[in-house]
Amino acid sequence: MRILLARHGETPWNAEGRYQGQEDIPLSPVGEAQARALGARLADVRIDRAVASPLVRAKTTAELALGDMRKTQLVTDPGLMEIAHGNWEGLLASEIRDRDGERLQAWRDAPDTVLMPGAGGESLQMVFDRAWPAFARAAEGLGDDDTLLVVAHDAVNRVLLCRLLGVPFARLWTFRQAPTTLNLLEGPDVERLDIVRLNGCAHHTALFGEAVHRAL
């Protein structure tokens, strides 16, 4: 089977560098254009199943990527929602530095050690513990020649890819996940997937023009 693991398009908060977490922020016009560009890239690709996070930025990205004729097959799974950033949600990194600087530095240097502050705040392990089963559910029953589209979020994609790469969550920031990035995975089941393509965003970004993570 083939799995196309994508991230949602840009939102206004992404552009500003605000931590979104599970705040339900819609795509910006730039993000909508990125999602349509992803759709153009996938227009001739047979997609047998599509699953997205229920947050509107991921769901809209999936719908625009699938197009009017295919978006009816889309289902959502809350296990794919972005990490809950707790009290950081809605804040810029500069604001967090003033209020919670030690934790912010740990998030940059040792992200696997961080529990997000406030009610409902998550760690990367907590995200993985719900996202991996959701990922497995999405792929359940797919045949060898079937293709699955999954549209999720930065932290979700990263913990899934860390698992597939066999690297610890401490190495979370050693690769990028740009808006509407496309990761191509192939294998007989989710436990035996090869990463064929990582962070592919040629549909909207020049070879040396990829954006950095503004919230870091």
To the query of whether residue 23 is one of the catalytic residues in this protein, the response is no
The tens digit of pLDDT for each residue in 3-35 reads 999 999 999 999 999 999 999 999 999 999 999
The tens digit of pLDDT for each residue in 58-97 reads 999 999 999 999 999 999 999 999 999 999 999 999 999 9
Catalytic residue among 82, 85, 122, 153: 82
Q: What is the mean pLDDT of residues 127-131?
A: 98
As a whole number, the mean pLDDT across the chain is 95
Give the global pTM: 0.95
Region label for 206, one of left (φ > 0), alpha (ψ between -120 and 50) or beta (otherwise): beta
Other C-beta atoms within 10 Å of 119: how many? Answer: 7
The tens digit of pLDDT for each residue in 181-206 reads 999 999 999 999 999 999 998 887 76
Beta bridge partners of 149: 4, 50
Q: In what order do the strands lie in the sheet with 2-7?
A: 74-76, 49-52, 147-152, 2-7, 182-186, 194-200
Catalytic residue among 8, 85, 153, 204: 8
Which residues touch 12 (CB under 8 Å, ≥6 apart)? 25, 28
Q: What is the mean pLDDT of residues 31-52?
A: 97
Quick one: which H or E segment has residue 36?
helix 29-42
For the chain, list the domains and their CATH numbers: 2-200 (3.40.50.1240)
For the four alpha carbons of 11, 15, 16 and 18, in that order, the dihedral sign comes to positive
Which residues touch 99 (CB under 8 Å, ≥6 apart)? 91
